[in-house]
Amino acid sequence: MQTNLADFIKDTPEGIEADAILRSCVHCGFCTATCPTYQVLGDELDGPRGRIYLIKQVLEGVEPTIKTQQHLDRCLTCRNCESTCPSGVEYGRLVDIGRAVVEKKVGRTFRESLQRRVLRKGLLSKKSFAAAIALGRAARPLLPAALKAKIQPRRAIGTWPAFQHARSMLLLDNCVQDALAPSIDSATARVLSAAGVTLKRISAGGCCGALSHHLNAHDEAVTKVRANIDAWWPHIEAGAEAVVGTASGCSVMLKEYGHFMKHDAAYAAKAERVAALSKDISEVITAEWPKLQTKVKPTTEKIAYHPPCTLQHGMKLKGGVEAMLKDMGFALAPVADSHLCCGSAGTYSVLQPTLSNELKSRKLKSLTAGAPTQIATANIGCMTHLQSGTELVVKHWIELLDERLK
């Protein structure tokens, strides 16, 4: 694609990065066919090719409008398009840059800014999280009251293993997940303990930074990232093997720390190292699988698995979880269009309720088509989102593994 970026951005790091990304795009439109919002709305500008075009125009000096912003807001950042793109266009990065520029130029209405601030503050602080969730709900009049109750199926947390192994890994103290489903982290700790690894919970920033980042609160995100790096650093120096993300949405952010802090002289090198050590829990368990597999009580239960976008598109980790579930004996119900987003997409479900609900019901239709007894996934966002629309229990796959350990 031809580019001619405007002076205001041309020589900035964002401008240079965006220019390279735009030039790699040949506008073939293969992305459009796999874009969930394009499938629902059928408008070119609600697909990646259209959005790339809008961003290009803005970076070339055309004044964006509220409409431009709406088209960019409707993007789930599921990055399905990146998986499809033969030219390797880094759409996720581009849309981040585009959104920030558009937000600066167009601004937000008072109501929107308030909603976004409340979401951020609420979700970032564990205490007020419950309140924030309620607020989010208030913004979702489409959600039948009857379903609201099901959103937080509390499961027994169980005990956190006391034994200290020689090997250790660090756990991101997860803002949303801890409050919603503490059972995930304790299940992870038990499974890792069975593999001979101690999982250390380190509290620091309280969030990986993804949330602020996706709501265009750049400085806030940077503060979180620095706090996390500072808190983990002594443990990394003491030999911790990995920083583990138990929600794929966080894992993908952790892996981007290096890129994110690249222009921060004081933190760039450390961020690079943290990113290199960051692993999604599925990667960690895959590596330990030979040891763990022998300890699993086999099953024949039929379940459906939903691979989160951050896992399959963001980190390009495909098939790993499915393979382990099959090894455990689970029969995986066939799921049509498993590459498509469920509509959760972080705070998207609150900010774009109509689209999000439409995508959820489509996803649940395909997940339940094969009559599974429960649904597994790998990200807290997808988990609660899907749970709000089905009678079936939706769990993190690590919980299923934990349940089956002898």
> Where do contacts with another protein occur on this chain (CB under 8 A)?
1-4, 23-24, 26, 28, 42, 44-45, 50, 53-54, 57, 67-68, 86-87
For residue 338, the Cα-to-chain-centroid distance in whole angstroms is: 16
Q: How far is the CB of 116 from another protein (least distance, A)?
A: 25
Q: Which residues contact 6 (CB under 8 A, 6 or more apart)?
A: 59, 60, 61
**214 burial type by CB count under 10 A (0-12 exposed, 13-18 middle, 19+ buried):** buried
**Between residues 32 and 183, which has the closer beta carbon with respect to another protein?**
32
Residue 93: how many other CB atoms lie within 10 Å: 18
Complex with another protein: residue 26 or 157, whichever CB lies closer: 26
Cα gap 203→125, rounded to integer Å: 12
Which is nearer to another protein, 87 or 109 (by Cβ)?
87
If the CB atoms of residues 3 and 374 are measured against another protein, the closer one turns out to be: 3
State the minimum distance, in angstroms, from the CB of residue 135 to another protein.
32
Distances (CA, A) of 148 to 73, 87, 139: 25, 43, 13
Contact 214, 77 (CB under 8 A): yes
| Closest separation in Å from C-beta 342 to another protein | 24
Give the DSSP H/E element, type plus range, for residue 106.
helix 91-106
Q: Which is nearer to another protein, 1 or 236 (CB)?
A: 1
For another protein, the closer of residues 68 and 115 by Cβ is 68
Measured from the CB of residue 87, what is the shortest distance to another protein in angstroms? 5
8 Å CB contact between 202 and 232? yes
Residue with tokens 């030039």: 23
Rounded least distance, CB 44 to another protein, Å: 5
User: Per-residue DSSP letters for 236-294?
Assistant: HHTT---EEESSHHHHHHHHTHHHHTTT-TTTHHHHHHHHHHEEEHHHHHHHHHHHHHT
Sign of CA dihedral 15, 79, 321, 395: positive
Nearest residue (CB) to another protein, 57 versus 152: 57
Q: Cβ of residue 6: shortest distance to another protein, in angstroms?
A: 16
| 102, 114 Cβ separation under 8 angstroms | no
- Is residue 338 within 8 A of residue 308, CB to CB? The reply is no
DSSP-assigned letter for residue 312: I
CB of 327 to another protein, least distance (A): 25
Q: Which is nearer to another protein, 65 or 223 (CB)?
A: 65
Measured from the CB of residue 266, what is the shortest distance to another protein in angstroms? 34
Name, in order, each residue with C-beta under 8 angstroms of 76's C-beta and a sequence gap of 6 or more: 36, 37, 309, 341, 343, 345, 348, 359
Nearer to another protein, 66 or 323 (CB): 66
Based on CB atoms, which residue is closest to another protein, 52 or 172?
52
Provide, rounded to whole angstroms, the least separation between the CB of residue 33 and another protein.
Answer: 8
Q: Which long-range contacts (CB under 8 A, 24 or more apart) does 222-228 make?
A: 222/260, 222/261, 222/264, 224/124, 225/257, 225/260, 225/261, 225/267, 225/271, 226/267, 228/172, 228/204, 228/274
User: What secondary structure letter does DSSP report for 198?
Assistant: E
- State the minimum distance, in angstroms, from the CB of residue 129 to another protein: 38
